[in-house]
Amino acid sequence: MTTATAAREGADAIGTAEDESLAEFQWQVNLLFTRARLLWKESAARVHPDLQPAGYKLLGFVARAGVTNAHLVAEAFEMDKSVVSRQVKALEELGLVVSRPDEGDGRQRVLAATPLAHEALRTLRADHAARLRAALDGLTPDELAAAIKAIRCLSEL
């Protein structure tokens, strides 16, 4: 076997191992997204039995923003404004969001989470943080740094 042939076979083996690693990474990301969807569904039900996962995500955005409007929510989630409008209406009906006319632009409505929503989300966040701490407890600081780097790369896709 020539040196060139051996080098080519070695490169093929590395490529295969890299492909397998990438396939495993993609699989794990898919599992993570599946688990996230399930967590959103469970979390929505904990906030209110009639709350949909999409409404839960919007509620979290509104609560973190303090005050916002439907246009900014639609932009953040890349959703059609009509979908956001329906979700906001449902959140209002459940007593989780209040809206009022925007004093600076009468065409807009300002959205804010209610105290009931803030309390429910605070409880959920505490539970989620405890679960995350338990899941990551055995990782070294270097492993956590590598995980953070991977997540940042994914968020830029």
> Is 94 within 8 Å of 50 (Cβ atoms)?
yes
DSSP reduced 3-state for 112: strand
Mean of pLDDT values over 100-111: 82
Give the pLDDT band (50/70/90) at residue 14: low
Which has the minimum average pLDDT: 10-19, 122-131, 148-157? 10-19
Mean of pLDDT values over 144-154: 89
pLDDT, tens digit, for every residue of 70-102? 888 889 888 888 888 899 999 999 999 998 887
Judge whether residue 62 has pLDDT over 90. Answer: yes
Q: How far apart are CA 58 and CA 63, in angstroms?
A: 9
Rounded to the nearest integer, the mean pLDDT of the chain is 87
Instruction: Give the residue with greater pLDDT, 103 vs 13.
Output: 103
Which strands form 68-69's sheet, in the order they lie side by side?
68-69, 109-113, 97-101
CATH code: domain of residue 114: 1.10.10.10
pLDDT at 55: 93
Tokens of 69: 């409007």
Q: Which domain holds residue 92?
A: 3-155
Domain tally, the chain = 1
Tokens of 135: 């899941």
